[in-house]
Amino acid sequence: MIPRDNGKGLITRTVKRYTLASGHSVSKDLVTVEEPLEIKVKNKSMQTFLIAYIMRTPGMDDYHAVGFLYSEGIIQSKSDILGFEGVDSNGVSASNSLTVLVPDRLPVDLSTIQRKFFVNSSCGICGKANINDIFLRTSGMQRSECTVQAETILLLPAIMRSRQNIFSVTGGIHAAALFTLQGKLIAVAEDIGRHNAVDKIVGYMLMNGLVNHDFVLQVSGRAGFEIIQKAAFAGIPIISSISAPSSLAIETCEALGLTLACFVREDRFSVYSHGQRII
């Protein structure tokens, strides 16, 4: 089931417009919402730990928190999620504060990783200590030799775009989407931060038992290292981007056996690593 659209990512503002032809005028405009989300975890012993403040667009906040915690290695499976506090039936936190309920035993000691760091909507996790973490955490993963038709890759941006409800009226938001190898849309997420959109997709995957399956991740922005990192942790073998890759993203995909296709347009794209999966 494709995740729900909560309609809370938009706000109306009064703007003053100017054109050479007609001069000044006043009208209403729809703007993408950017608000902080406080992510906390609480164990069964009722100990609460503040993990992060993330600037994001409201929507799929429950999946966002799960994807973030999973990407950070704080949780490892759906069984580590016992429930949520502070979200409505659509998974949105009206108070901008969300608590994930977890068991007492987790892969990490929460008292040592409580970080209160600030994650903004453009750069992701600023000051990440050690990029070698991605190689350590994914070293045991077996990468699939699945294949996808080149023509299918070309179709993905347009399919994703057709489900970008906020982008259609503001033009100012990123998206990530999960597809089958046959081009069927599984999930789509929008957010002011491209890495947040991917976290929402990863959280959806974890909560629905889809991690480490053969999918294609389509993203609307450039393919930077952090996007690749999140896809790798989720076991996604193929990443497609409408924009450019970074050198570290390419090197990471080469080392981890991931396929990276970029500059995906209506009739062309470039493959930067493990092109054997695209036929």
Q: What is the CATH number of the domain that holds 213?
A: 3.40.140.10
pLDDT value of position 9: 92
* Within-domain flag for 67: yes
Domain membership of residue 80 as a residue range: 35-138
In a shared domain, residues 163 and 268: yes
Q: Are residues 175 and 242 in the same domain?
A: yes
| pLDDT the model gives residue 142 | 73
- 183 in the same domain as 81: no
Q: Are strands 174-179 and 216-219 parallel, antiparallel or unpaired?
A: antiparallel
Averaged pLDDT of the chain? 91
Domain shared by 246 and 175, yes or no:
yes
Span 57-88, pLDDT tens digits = 999 999 999 999 999 899 999 999 999 999 99
Tell me: do 180 and 160 sit in the same domain: yes
Eight-state DSSP code of residue 87: -
pLDDT tens readout for residues 167-186: 999 999 999 999 999 999 99
Q: Which of 105, 138, 171 is the last residue of a domain?
A: 138
Residue 92 in contact with residue 61, Cβ under 8 Å? Answer: yes
The residue from 113, 138, 163 where one domain ends is 138
Query: Are 111 and 174 found together in one domain?
Result: no
Range scoring the smallest mean pLDDT among 16-20, 97-101, 131-135, 147-151: 131-135
For helices 225-233 and 247-256, the axis angle rounded to 10 degrees is: 20
Rounded Cα–Cα distance for residues 187 and 210 (Å): 11
The 10s digit of each residue's pLDDT in 122-162 is 555 544 444 677 777 776 677 889 999 999 999 999 999 99
Under 8 Å between Cβ of 37 and 53: yes
> Does 146 qualify as catalytic in the annotation?
no
Higher pLDDT, 270 or 123: 270
The answer to whether 239 and 228 have CB atoms below 8 angstroms apart is yes
Catalytic residue among 123, 126, 253, 262: 123
User: How many domains are contained in the chain?
Assistant: 2
pLDDT digits (tens, 9 = 90+) for 224-233: 999 999 999 9
Spatial separation of the C-alpha atoms in residues 196 and 9, rounded to whole Å: 13
Q: Which of 51, 49, 48, 40 is nearest to 95 (CA)?
A: 40
